[in-house]
Structure 1
Amino acid sequence: MEDNISQLPDALLLRILSLLPAKDVVATLVLSKRWQPLWSLVPKLVYDDSYQNIEYGRFSCFVYISLIFHEAPVLESLRFILGGNSGAVDVGAWTRTAVIRCVRELIIEMDCSSSTTPVILPKSLYTGCSILVALKLKNVILADVSSLVSFPSLKTLSFVSVKYPNDEFFKRLLSNCPVLEDLVVERNPPGDNVTIFNIIVPSLKSLFLRNSQNSVVDDSHGFVIDAPSLECFDIVDYNGGFCVFENNMPNIVKANVDVTHSHSGKILSCITSVKRLNLCLRTAKDEYPVGSILCYLLYLEICTCETEWLNLLLCLLKDSPKLRVLKLGQRHTLQDIDPRPCWIEPKSVPECLSSSLETLEWVEYNGGEEEEKELATFILRSGKCLKKVTISSNSTDLNKKLEMLKDLSLSFRRSPTCQLVFR
């Protein structure tokens, strides 16, 4: 088997070696003379200090030596997965080496749960990575710099639980990423030193925001976004605060909005071009953006855990004339103290029900709740284009489930082209 593998061309062997941890890559030099020069030419290196429970001193020495003797003409990817024993000095030196080697993708993931020394990345990171295409950081500190931050080739940027010098530094860093397309920001307040994340990036296409820590954040914290090329927007924020779009987002086709903002409806008014939308909002009926017609929306998923979900759904059905797929389900734990929404049948049938809706999926349907039964009856009775209806009950009572099925069957529009599945 070894001889057969050795017959493969160098390019294929290097691709295989790129899938292995760095320690295993270097170990291949003892296989035969054929393998000896290959390890130093592997374009992707992964250093994991937890691999095979290696003692940290030996791990650190191994990283230094292997980086010194590595000779690949282009270092495509360099990834460090480091625990609490990793030294800040080591990480800084390895990062400087990555800068010198003109790495194209740099990933540093720190586990700070048992670390007492914070890892501050060297200032050379901001000025020497002219061909860096992807930068992904987790649990590190970004040092302030007086010199100009420059990432002329950076297209992907991910910050997870990163500590910044201040608001202005974050804004300045993004302004010097002229071709940035994908941005991930996962906050760990209140220790990140940023009150407002100003995301002003004309080239940005995908934005992923997370602020889900259970900490108290007032209305002064949030995100301000100006990204006219944005196509995919994903935000989860359970800490209140705010998210403001400076301008409409005319190119957004996919969005996930799961927030507890007091004026969350304003987000919807700026993403009217969306085709696929997932929503969980604590939105009162009078907060819904009146006149925001979602004329391109084809797929809608709404979380049923919040009190006002029913009012929100009816508004969206009315304003989504081309909707084809509707999915209802409970993403989060329902609070028993919350009052359930009251069903008021619309005076007119939404256009999508009579002309475009083809698929209805309802997860954790509770037909014992009057408002849910009334809504299901209304959709089944009014949906002239329905092709498949799938309803899953959360009840374990077989008699109750049978009763639900009977109620649904009575209201189901008889059609040879529509299938009703009840689970």
Structure 2
Amino acid sequence: MSCEDKISALHDDLLLKILSQVPTKDVVTTMILSKRWGLVWTMVPKLEYKDTWKEGEKSIWRLLEKSLQLHKAPVLESLNIQVECQFCDDADVVKCVSYAVDHKVRELALILPSQPKILQLASNVYTSKTLVKLTLSCRTLVVDVPSLPCLPSLQRLALLSVVLLSNCPALTHLEVFRNLSDNVTRFIVKVSSLKSFRYTQHKRAPSRSLVLDSPGLRRLNLSDPHGDLDSIQNMPHLDWAYVLHFVPNPKDKKFLRSFSSVKVLRLSLRNVECCSTIKFSRLMKVTLHLYCFDDFMCSLEPLLLFLHNSPILKVLEINYDVALCSNGVPLSWNRPSSVPVCLLSHLEIFVWKEFAGRRQERAFVAYILANSKRLKTAEFSPRYNLYEKEKEKMMELLKSMYRASASSQLDFLI
């Protein structure tokens, strides 16, 4: 039996699974194999169209329109359209998206370059009862959401340089990537059903504010170096959070107060002092990437205050980025009067990256090692510009420090 005969002998369900993994342009060509294949390809539940600059602006839309007209699957699982070139008539986009919604599409991705004029989605998208995942990327795409509740089944939403949004009652995942030309100064997210939110601001964008009121959040990723993040409401169920933000005033105690219930926290900040008075009662793991600039004193003391307020912390990772500083920048450290509870009862892993080995840093490390009774691993990687002899001397010094946990392991990554 020939290879072609063996493939044709497969059950329709298996053929559809195979064809679902192939670009639609190639799937359509199978219709010439036989009358049976001419019917099978029209039942493929996943359609993917990608057009490059070389292929020209009209090819994908002709293929899209024709294949959607012939499509017979009862439910369209996904439609993925990715185009690299500009096009003149947005009616092609509206027509194809509208047709997909009529075919009960569940996942829709529309990734387009910036167009000569404003694009809008087909109106029936907003009333779709089957759409659960929507990915949109186009700087000239405006999603004109009606005032009434819409997209009743939508659970995952990704926005890349797109103007949106309102009234998605079932939304659980939201991603927002804002570009430099974005003219929205106050971005508001109020979604009670939201479980995961990723917000990325352009690093050179002017100061903008984020208003976040989604108390059901469990995962949060905020990358906004210079924006106003003080309007974030309490998130009592937060499990994981990453924050990149250079607080203008390190003593601004408003910042991060809404993160007090988080379990795993990654912070990229100028100084941890902004959250040294916040009680992190559920925090078990924290990664602190602290950027020390040369216009203020780098202080280690707020780190101890942070530890005092994190009673069940098990993992502490520190990256003190002093690459922009000279070794002459003052580093403050004074031994505290009491030992944080997490050191006495919970801390198991201690990591310090970009360890420079200055006197105050050594004193801080010695304090951690001498009081962490349950410590299992302490790991250090030296600052990138240290000489080999300096690294070796540092390693010997760390080895000589007293450790309250005799069974703990000391690792030095050169």
1:398 aligned to which of 377, 388, 401 = 388
Q: Give the gaps of 5 or more residues in structure 2.
A: none
Kept in 1, the 8 Å contact 2:79–2:100? The answer is: yes
Tell me the secondary structure at the aligned position of residue 296 of structure 1.
coil
Instruction: Give the TM-score taking structure 1 as reference length.
Output: 0.86
Q: 1:121 maps to what in 2? A: 120
Tell me the secondary structure at the aligned position of residue 279 of structure 2.
coil
Counterpart-to-counterpart distance in 2, 1:4 and 1:343 = 75
Q: How much has 1:265 moved relative to structure 2?
A: 4.5
Q: 1:178 maps to what in 2? A: 169
1:13-412 counterparts in 2 under 5 A? Answer: 13-50=15-52, 53-87=54-88, 88-112=90-114, 115=115, 117-139=116-138, 140-144=140-144, 148=148, 150-164=150-164, 170=165, 173=166, 176-189=167-180, 191-217=181-207, 221-246=208-233, 248-262=234-248, 265-283=253-271, 285=273, 287-288=274-275, 290=277, 292-306=278-292, 310-329=300-319, 334-336=323-325, 339=329, 341-367=331-357, 369-393=358-382, 394-395=384-385, 397-412=387-402
Kept in 1, the 8 Å contact 2:143–2:162? The answer is: no
Residues 1:21 and 1:309: Cα distance change in structure 2 (over 3 Å): farther
For the aligned residue pairs, the C-alpha RMSD in angstroms reads 2.6
Q: Which amino acid aligns with 2:268?
A: C
Kept in 2, the 8 Å contact 1:380–1:412? The answer is: yes
Residues 1:213 and 1:123: Cα distance change in structure 2 (over 3 Å): farther
Counterpart-to-counterpart distance in 2, 1:90 and 1:340 = 63
Kept in 2, the 8 Å contact 1:126–1:149? The answer is: no
Residues 1:126 and 1:34: Cα distance change in structure 2 (over 3 Å): closer
Q: Which amino acid aligns with 1:20?
A: V
Q: 1:10 maps to what in 2? A: 12
Q: How much has 1:311 moved relative to structure 2?
A: 4.1
Tell me the secondary structure at the aligned position of residue 64 of structure 2.
helix
Q: How much has 1:99 moved relative to structure 2?
A: 2.5
Counterpart-to-counterpart distance in 2, 1:66 and 1:363 = 55
Q: How much has 1:125 moved relative to structure 2?
A: 4.6
Q: Can you list the C-alpha shifts for 1:285-332, whole angstroms capped at 9, x where unaligned?
A: 3x4362x321211111000323557344222211111111111226x7
Kept in 1, the 8 Å contact 2:299–2:333? The answer is: no
Residues 1:18 and 1:341: Cα distance change in structure 2 (over 3 Å): farther
Q: How much has 1:412 moved relative to structure 2?
A: 4.2
Counterpart-to-counterpart distance in 2, 1:145 and 1:256 = 29
Q: How much has 1:160 moved relative to structure 2?
A: 1.2
Kept in 1, the 8 Å contact 2:217–2:235? The answer is: yes
Q: Can you list the C-alpha shifts for 1:57-86, whole angstroms capped at 9, x where unaligned?
A: 222211221121111111111111111323
Residues 1:28 and 1:84: Cα distance change in structure 2 (over 3 Å): same
Kept in 2, the 8 Å contact 1:391–1:421? The answer is: yes
Q: Which amino acid aligns with 2:13?
A: A
Counterpart-to-counterpart distance in 1, 2:73 and 2:299 = 55
Kept in 1, the 8 Å contact 2:52–2:85? The answer is: no
Tell me the secondary structure at the aligned position of residue 224 of structure 1.
strand
Identity fraction in percent? 35
Q: Which amino acid aligns with 1:160?
A: L
Kept in 2, the 8 Å contact 1:266–1:289? The answer is: no
Counterpart-to-counterpart distance in 2, 1:46 and 1:309 = 53
Q: How much has 1:422 moved relative to structure 2?
A: 0.9
Q: How much has 1:34 moved relative to structure 2?
A: 4.7
Aligned residue-pair number: 401
Q: 1:167 maps to what in 2? A: none
Counterpart-to-counterpart distance in 1, 2:12 and 2:386 = 59
Residues 1:240 and 1:261: Cα distance change in structure 2 (over 3 Å): farther
Residues 1:396 and 1:288: Cα distance change in structure 2 (over 3 Å): closer
Counterpart-to-counterpart distance in 1, 2:125 and 2:247 = 34
Q: Which amino acid aligns with 2:287?
A: E
Q: Can you list the C-alpha shifts for 1:27-76, whole angstroms capped at 9, x where unaligned?
A: 2333445533222111111111129x423322221122112111111111
